[in-house]
């Protein structure tokens, strides 16, 4: 396939117009020793029919959650995606556009971002949200970076190891900057060790971080930590799960200064881990410090309501090395999917989904306990818990043989997630296989 | 007319329903203690499906994409996004994969990762790639992190500075700063290229490297790239390639052969994946062998006939993103490269450069072109003539283009050219389209002479007129509030 519309005759005509004899002459400013001598070692181009065959073959070598019930969660969740959303995302005015730099021909996109920002504020209870980040993990790293760079030399990030291990790995990479010192506090019985976290807070502490629910699905007791952090004039940062917020206390209610999270559950397909979106929301007084694009409402010359990228003095294209973050492109289309999702399911639907996930998890716990299995941690959870098994790898292989995508393998346990898509039959089957029947 | 979704709220109009509950209806308060439960009302809008569909469809009519028309936004490579790519990324066998599935259940996906790493290495002349970064700036950051990790691993802790040309994208200095480097700006000479004397003078044992875009943001190839690389390498630094402009050389010259040690590529620019109104993109980072150990983990490897993720990378910078990058975007770029093949990749570049030079040639009678010589995929014009004559600015010309049905070029960038207009037509525009655009640009130049208010008050045909950006920033309204 080629997507170059000018045939050879037109190419020659254009060359003639600009006074050149060949396409090669267009590259006469590149010295011969730098040029590719032979053709690139790539396969020959393919037509659409060959591509379809090849991609279908590749896809067929995967086992998909479309066909197999999936109990994997651990940061990516198999929620239902409304049909209308999938079709609307194919409106190419959205997906083939660039960042809305020119407000006059981008009002639809700017408005959609404004709506998204509003919905994220509503979900989290926070006062300001940006237009999205790459994902939950990088959003958390940016939040910690903001806490450190805006607290006059404080460098310590006190964080529980019950936060998603990949988020911790990302934070470690971002701390290569030398501006953050990550203080990792081991959890206790699947929850954050709040007492030890509080003891670690000192005059060097920029922020303390927990995830709610945490990586193991457990609900963290955040109250005492919030108090201690704020008494120390440090920031309290929470990584939260968006669907759980229909049911669980919002980060604003917990007193968070910054709330971030993985937005994938809101209408974005699993897609092997991406593209997803990170959401980032904060207290109002942090508005001029937060990273990323922000859309604001304003008026046009006729006084008509209009939207525009605003507070750009924070950003890299204006401030260059003085910008708080280097983020440029974000995950706008995934954010659009998120606001479409929240619109299509609505508030009642979102709550129904959250309750259903929890109820299915509770049912699964009861059934597992009936066959003699035990949870690894006996603490309140939302829709995900760890169940003890002798050999997690073997348990997963057995599940797979029975047509089930099992859980995330922990030390002596499987971390299982229950979305609204799981049926009673699927859970019964899971229990039967794990229970050894 | 343009109601917000919240203003379409009608109580009880949303009828989303779950299947009937098939398990006992446990009471939430039995299993979740009250202190964890939400008291705050969310207040999402309630809208029927049909009204929601109309709402978002209406929003799309007030947006402009590559499918809507010519989009010569410089440095953004707004080429056509082939539809077969969209189809492929949505295949259930790809879109339905959980990232933590056992490797034996995702062999097809792993093969795509592996082959993509190999193809990108071949196209750029690097020794290995990690596909993890989610965007260009993110790939830059991962790349600059590998440079930092490399020097640290050699116990060379004095290299605290990063050189960036004054023509660089804003992300370059911002990235260097994010990774904790002090930025040193390298000047451009009067030909718009890196000033070698300035570079020599600034290169020393405190400099970790140089970040460079080639072709640069003026659309010009850095002719002395070997000399630039030699200066940086002899000083103990490494050379970073910002892949934003790779479309101007792909298939013709490879950054690896130019002497670059690390590169990021923008799949959403060079390899035809859509920009999604500002993302998702994908910014794979590639390196020469000396930096392989520091890449973000994991990378895909092939062992016999099977594919796997290799996490055994003790010197890796860690991760910059959850899981393995923006797979859905990677699939689209994979299909793109497979569709074009070696010859198509080269031809895409040739036609992109031809289109840019043709456009430059045809605009020079009406617009000032500061560096009017052979360019690569893009070039800079400015509004000097119009400004001197009738105070018509670059902003005015950009807004008037909207009336003519075009997306404006990138404006006021690069910073080293005043009133810059940066045009990048890409290879997917026909001569016919370019000629129509050239006519529009000429008409605007005439209007600027004869009827300047028509231009300075533009746009006239858009859904809104120019907006009050000052008030937006001074008194920010960043979310809807119920009246």
pLDDT value of residue B73:
97
Residue A334 shares a structural domain with residue A387: no
Residue B113 shares a structural domain with residue B250: yes
Give B443-457 pLDDT, tens digit per residue.
999 999 999 999 999
How close is the nearest chain A Cα to the Cα of B328, in Å? 6
> Mean pLDDT over residues B107-117, rounded?
98
DSSP B203-259: -STTEEEEEEESS-TTS---TTHHHHHHHHHHTT-EEEEEETTGGGTTTTB-HHHHT
Answer yes or no: do B174 and A321 touch at CB < 8 A: yes
Which residue, among B241, B287, B270, has the nearest Cα to B126 in the 3D structure? Answer: B287
* A348, pLDDT greater than 90: yes
Residue B324 shares a structural domain with residue B431: no
Residue B68 placed within a domain: no
Number of neighbouring beta carbons within 10 Å of residue B453 = 11
Q: HSE of A399 in the Cβ direction (CA atoms, 13 Å)?
A: 31
Q: With beta carbons under 8 A apart, name residues in chain A contacting B240.
A: none
Mutate to test the interface with A, among B42, B90, B103 (most CBs of A within 10 A): B42
Is any Cβ of chain B less than 8 angstroms from the Cβ of A194?
no
Residue A331 shares a structural domain with residue A373: no
Residue A195 shares a structural domain with residue A254: yes
Residue B239 placed within a domain: yes
Residue A325 shares a structural domain with residue A407: no
Q: Can you give the CATH number for the domain in which A277 is found? A: 3.40.640.10
Residue B35 shares a structural domain with residue B93: no
Residue A149 shares a structural domain with residue A260: yes
Domain boundary among B318, B340, B362: B340
Residue B482 placed within a domain: no
Nearest-Cα residue of chain A relative to residue B428: A4
What is the domain count for chain B?
3
Residue A294 shares a structural domain with residue A149: yes
Q: Which residues contact B387 (CB under 8 A, 6 or more apart)?
A: B393, B419
Q: Which residues contact A20 (CB under 8 A, 6 or more apart)?
A: A26, B357
What is the domain count for chain A?
2
Domain boundary among B285, B308, B340: B340
Answer yes or no: do A40 and B122 touch at CB < 8 A: yes
Residue A176 placed within a domain: yes
Q: With beta carbons under 8 A apart, name residues in chain B contacting A57.
A: 108
Give B395-423 pLDDT, tens digit per residue.
999 999 999 999 999 999 999 999 999 99
Domain boundary among A303, A322, A339: A339
Domain boundary among A305, A322, A339: A339
> Mean pLDDT over residues B164-175, rounded?
94
How close is the nearest chain B Cα to the Cα of A154, in Å? 15
Give A120-153 pLDDT, tens digit per residue.
999 999 999 999 999 999 999 999 999 999 988 8
Residue B317 shares a structural domain with residue B374: no
Residue A173 placed within a domain: yes
User: What's the per-residue H, E or C state across chain A?
Assistant: CCCCCCCHHHHHHHHHHHCCCCHHHHHCCCCHHHECCCCCCCCECCCHHHHHHHHHHHHHCECCCCCCCECCCCCCCCCCCCHHHHHHCCCHHHHCCCCCCCHHHCHHHHHHHHHHHHHHHHHHCCCEECCCECCHHHHHHHHHHHHHHCCCCCCEEEEECCCCHHHHHHHHHHHHHCCCEEEEECCECCECCHHHHHHHCCCCEEEEEEEECCCCCECCCCHHHHHHHHHCCCEEEEEECCHHHHCECCHHHHCCCEEEEECCCCCCCCHHHCCCCEEEEECHHHCCCCCCCCEEEEEECCCCEEEEECCHHHCHHHHHHHCCCCCCCCCHHHHHHHHHHHHHHHHHHHHHHHHHHHHHHHHHHHHHHHCCCCECCCCCECCEEEEECCCHHHHHHHHHHCCCECCEEECCEEEEECCCCCCHHHHHHHHHHHCCC
| Token pair 């959250």 in the structure block, residue | A354
Which residue, among A133, A140, A127, has the nearest Cα to A208 in the 3D structure? Answer: A140
Answer yes or no: do B174 and A105 touch at CB < 8 A: no
Residue B269 shares a structural domain with residue B365: no
Domain boundary among A320, A339, A358: A339
How close is the nearest chain B Cα to the Cα of A53, in Å? 10
Of residues A67, A99, A310, nearest to B472 (C-beta): A310
Q: Can you give the CATH number for the domain in which B320 is found? A: 3.40.640.10
Is any Cβ of chain B less than 8 angstroms from the Cβ of A34?
yes
Residue A317 shares a structural domain with residue A383: no
**Position A317 confidence tier, pLDDT thresholds 50, 70, 90:** confident
Residue A151 shares a structural domain with residue A179: yes
Q: Which of residues 302-331 of B touch A (CB under 8 A)?
A: 317-329, 331
Q: Which domain covers residue B51, as residue numbers? A: 5-61
Q: Which domain covers residue A426, as residue numbers? A: 347-434
How close is the nearest chain A Cα to the Cα of B144, in Å? 10
ipTM above 0.95, yes or no: yes
Of residues A33, A97, A105, nearest to B462 (C-beta): A105
Residue A363 shares a structural domain with residue A313: no
Answer yes or no: do A274 and B328 touch at CB < 8 A: yes
Q: What span, in angstroms and rounded, lies between the C-alpha atoms of B15 and A7? A: 53
Token pair recorded at residue B86? 């969209």
Residue A29 placed within a domain: no
Nearest-Cα residue of chain B relative to residue A85: B53
- 0.95 exceeded by the pTM? yes
**Position B371 confidence tier, pLDDT thresholds 50, 70, 90:** very high
A131 contacts A281 by C-beta, under 8 angstroms: no
Residue B332 shares a structural domain with residue B424: no
Is any Cβ of chain B less than 8 angstroms from the Cβ of A293?
yes
Of residues B65, B399, B468, nearest to A93 (C-beta): B65
Pairing of strands B207-213, B238-243: parallel
Question: What 8-state DSSP symbol labels residue B314?
Answer: T
Residue A45 placed within a domain: no
Residue A220 shares a structural domain with residue A356: no
Residue B324 shares a structural domain with residue B354: no
Q: With beta carbons under 8 A apart, name residues in chain B contacting A269.
A: 90, 95-96, 328
Domain boundary among B290, B313, B340: B340
* B1, pLDDT greater than 60: no
Q: Can you give the CATH number for the domain in which A375 is found? A: 3.90.1150.10
Of residues B58, B98, B325, nearest to A405 (C-beta): B98
């Amino acid at each position: 396939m080629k997507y170059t519309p000018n045939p050879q005759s037109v190419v020659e005509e254009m060359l003639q117009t600009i006074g050149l004899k060949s396409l090669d002459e267009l590259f006469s400013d590149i010295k011969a020793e730098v040029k590719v001598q032979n053709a690139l070692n790539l396969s020959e181009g393919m037509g659409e029919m060959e591509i379809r065959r090849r991609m279908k073959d590749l896809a067929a070598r995967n086992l998909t959650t479309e066909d197999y019930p999936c109990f994997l969660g651990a940061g990516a969740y198999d929620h239902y995606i409304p049909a209308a959303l999938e079709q609307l995302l194919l409106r190419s005015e959205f997906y083939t556009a660039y960042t809305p730099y020119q407000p006059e021909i981008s009002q639809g996109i700017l408005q959609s971002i404004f709506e998204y920002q509003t919905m994220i504020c509503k979900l989290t209870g926070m006062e300001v949200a940006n237009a999205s980040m790459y994902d939950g993990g990088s959003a958390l790293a940016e939040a910690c970076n903001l806490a450190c760079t805006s607290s006059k030399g404080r460098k310590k990030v006190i964080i529980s190891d019950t936060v998603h291990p990949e988020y911790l790995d990302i934070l470690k990479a971002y701390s290569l900057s030398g501006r953050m010192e990550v203080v990792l506090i081991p959890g206790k019985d699947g929850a954050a060790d709040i007492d030890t976290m509080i003891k670690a807070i000192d005059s060097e502490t920029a922020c303390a971080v927990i995830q709610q629910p945490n990586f193991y699905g457990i609900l963290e007791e955040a109250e005492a930590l919030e108090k201690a952090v704020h008494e120390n004039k440090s920031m309290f940062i929470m990584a939260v799960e968006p669907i759980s917020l229909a049911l669980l206390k919002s980060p604003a209610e917990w007193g968070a200064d910054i709330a971030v999270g993985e937005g994938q559950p809101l209408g974005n397909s699993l897609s092997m881990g991406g593209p997803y979106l990170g959401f980032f929301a904060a207290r109002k007084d942090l508005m001029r410090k937060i990273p990323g694009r922000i859309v604001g409402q304003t008026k046009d010359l006729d006084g008509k309501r209009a939207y525009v990228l605003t507070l750009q003095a924070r950003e890299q294209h204006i401030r260059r090395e003085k910008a708080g973050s280097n983020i440029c492109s974000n995950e706008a289309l995934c954010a659009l999917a998120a606001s479409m999702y929240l619109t299509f399911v609505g508030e009642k639907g979102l709550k129904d989904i959250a309750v259903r996930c929890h109820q299915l998890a509770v049912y699964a716990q009861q059934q597992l306990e009936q066959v003699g299995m035990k949870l690894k941690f006996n603490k309140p959870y939302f829709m995900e818990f760890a169940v003890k098994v002798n050999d997690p790898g073997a348990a997963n292989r057995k599940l797979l043989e029975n047509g089930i995508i099992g859980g995330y393998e922990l030390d002596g346990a499987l971390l299982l997630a229950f979305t609204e898509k799981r049926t009673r039959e699927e859970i019964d089957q899971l229990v039967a296989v794990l229970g050894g029947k | 007319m343009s109601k917000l979704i919240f203003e379409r709220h009608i109580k009880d109009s949303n009828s989303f329903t779950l299947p009937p509950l098939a398990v006992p209806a446990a009471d939430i308060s039995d299993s979740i203690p009250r202190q964890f439960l939400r008291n705050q009302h969310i207040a999402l809008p309630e809208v029927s499906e049909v009204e929601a569909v109309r709402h978002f469809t209406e929003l799309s009519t007030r947006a402009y994409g590559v499918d809507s028309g010519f989009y010569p936004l410089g440095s953004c490579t707004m080429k056509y996004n082939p539809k077969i790519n969209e189809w492929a990324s949505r295949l259930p066998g790809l879109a339905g994969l959980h990232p933590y599935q056992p490797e034996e259940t995702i062999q097809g996906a792993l093969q795509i990762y592996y082959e993509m790493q190999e193809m990108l290495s071949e196209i750029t002349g690097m020794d290995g790639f990690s596909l993890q970064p989610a965007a260009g700036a993110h790939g830059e950051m991962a790349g600059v992190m590998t440079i930092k990790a490399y020097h640290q691993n050699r116990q060379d802790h004095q290299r605290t500075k990063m050189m960036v040309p004054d023509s660089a994208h804003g992300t370059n200095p911002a990235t260097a700063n994010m990774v904790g480097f002090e930025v040193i700006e390298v000047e451009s000479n009067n030909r718009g290229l890196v000033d070698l004397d300035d570079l020599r003078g600034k290169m020393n044992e405190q400099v970790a490297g140089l970040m460079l875009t080639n072709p640069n943001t003026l659309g010009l190839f850095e002719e002395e790239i070997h000399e630039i690389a030699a200066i940086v390498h002899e000083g103990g630094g490494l050379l970073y390639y910002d892949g934003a402009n790779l479309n101007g050389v792909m298939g013709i010259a490879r950054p690896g052969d130019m002497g670059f040690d690390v590169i990021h590529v923008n799949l959403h620019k060079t390899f035809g994946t859509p920009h999604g109104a500002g993302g998702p993109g994908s910014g794979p980072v590639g390196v020469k062998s000396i930096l392989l150990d520091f890449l973000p983990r994991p990378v895909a490897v092939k062992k016999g006939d099977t594919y796997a993720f290799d996490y055994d990378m003790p010197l890796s910078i860690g991760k910059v993103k959850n899981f393995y990058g923006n797979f859905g975007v990677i699939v689209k770029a994979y299909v793109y490269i497979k569709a074009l093949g070696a010859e198509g990749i080269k031809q895409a570049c040739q036609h992109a450069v031809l289109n840019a030079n043709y456009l430059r040639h045809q605009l020079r009678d009406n617009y000032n072109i500061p560096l009017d010589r052979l360019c690569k995929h893009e070039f800079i014009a400015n509004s000097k003539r119009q400004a001197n004559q009738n105070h018509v600015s670059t902003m005015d010309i950009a807004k008037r283009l909207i009336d003519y049905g075009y997306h404006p070029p990138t404006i006021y960038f690069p910073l080293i050219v005043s009133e810059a207009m940066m045009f990048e037509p890409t290879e997917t525009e026909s001569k016919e389209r370019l000629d129509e655009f050239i006519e529009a640009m000429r008409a605007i130049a005439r209007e600027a002479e004869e009827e300047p208010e028509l231009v300075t008050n533009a746009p006239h045909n858009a859904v809104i007129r120019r907006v009050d950006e000052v008030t937006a920033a001074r008194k920010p309204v960043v979310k809807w509030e119920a009246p």
